[in-house]
Amino acid sequence: MSGARILVLGGTGEARSLADSLVDAGIDTVLSLAGRTAMPAASRANVRTGGFGGIAGLSTYLRAERIDACIDATHPFAARISANALAACNAVGVPRLGLVRQEWVPVDGDRWITVDDLGQAARLLPAMGRRVFVAFADGLEALAGLDLDFVVRRAEPGGVALARAQVIVDRGPFVRDAERDLFASLHVDVVLAKASGGTAARAKLDAARNLGLPIILLRRPEPPPGPQAGSQAEALAWARMHAAP
Ligand code: NAP
């Protein structure tokens, strides 16, 4: 094991997989989780759980744990931790890399409408159908006034801020044919999803295209400035460079 220590900010499948590959490469690796998931998938890295306490807390952590480099592999919509990581790494002088999912690009047959926020989605939905499949559970207060039926899929058990909502608890991985059967059996008219990008969450888009269903996609926040990797292999190469004695 090399002497350097890498912090991977996680909460995604990509982060877990990257952390495992760093461990396999002999790099001392800490995988950090927010603690939202009751039973997170196992990792070969050292796992720490819970918020750091903002920029100041993360700066203190980076120093106290002698972190040599940090890879932000959080979800593209987890904007606060990404901004905090950028600021803390800059403050402490720890090199930082963002592992950024490839953006989705529509193909023939896709019926996507991209919106900036859920308020905009709320204005469009009533004209698009009666039954809405929502692929996330946060921020749904913006849809609460709509006279529509919702099916909300969330990764962890919990309520949703909608009166007429059926809740499905499932964290995937999802495959196209099962997604298509699910949408058909639920008589879904329209899908509402975050434009997260990458491969893991893509199946619902392919299923919707198969069924000719429209999708409202919530635009993802811009990733913070600074160096980026578009793949695990690139992130691993960057980490090896920073872990070299
Ligand atoms: P967020 O709004 O960016 O972060 C809120 C706070 O949670 C942060 O300020 C930080 O607390 C703590 N936190 C977030 N990620 C952390 C991590 N990896 N390690 C330690 N603390 C972390 O994030 P969010 O949207 O609530 O997402 C929470 C977690 O779920 C993230 O790790 C993300 O990767 C994962 N996730 C999010 C989504 C999504 O759609 N947002 C989807 C799938 C997975 P302190 O300020 O106290 O440090």
- Ligand 1 atom index nearest CA of 80: 3
Q: Which of 63, 64, 74, 60 is nearest to 19 (CA)?
A: 74
**Which is nearest to 148 in space by CA: 160, 158, 161, 163?**
163
**Per-residue exposure over 44-69, b if at least 16 CB sit within 10 Å of its own CB, e if not:** ebebeeeebeebeebbebbeeeebbb
State whether the beta carbon of 171 lies less than 6 angstroms from ligand 1.
Answer: no
The residue extents of the domains of the chain are 2-102+222-243, 112-218
54 lines ligand 1 (CB under 6 A): yes
Q: Which pLDDT tens digits describe the chain residue by residue (245 residues)?
A: 557 999 999 999 999 999 999 999 999 999 999 999 888 999 999 999 999 999 999 999 999 999 999 999 999 999 999 999 999 999 999 999 999 999 999 999 999 999 999 999 999 999 999 999 999 999 999 999 999 999 999 999 998 999 899 999 998 889 999 999 999 999 999 999 999 999 988 999 999 999 999 999 999 999 999 999 999 999 999 999 998 76
- Please give the Cα distance from 73 to 100 (Å, whole number): 7
Which residue has a Cα nearest atom 46 of ligand 1?
54
Nearest protein Cα to ligand 1, atom 43 = 75
Fold (topology level) of 112-218: Rossmann fold (3.40.50)
Query: Are domains 2-102+222-243 and 112-218 of this chain identical in fold?
Result: yes
CATH superfamily assigned to domain 2-102+222-243: NAD(P)-binding Rossmann-like Domain (3.40.50.720)
How far, in Å, is the centroid of ligand 1 from the Cα of 78? 5
Confidence at residue 200, expressed as pLDDT on a 0 to 100 scale: 84
Mutate-to-test residue for ligand 1 from 62, 65, 80, highest number of ligand atoms within 8 A of CB: 80
Which residue's alpha carbon is at the smallest distance from atom 11 of ligand 1?
Answer: 51
**CA–centroid distance, residue 104 to ligand 1 (Å):** 22
pLDDT of residue 68: 97
In the numeric block, which tokens belong to residue 11?
């909460």
Q: Is 74 in the pocket of ligand 1 (CB under 6 A)?
A: yes
Return the ligand 1 atom nearest residue 58 CA.
48
Residue pair 157/40 in contact by the 8 Å Cβ criterion: no
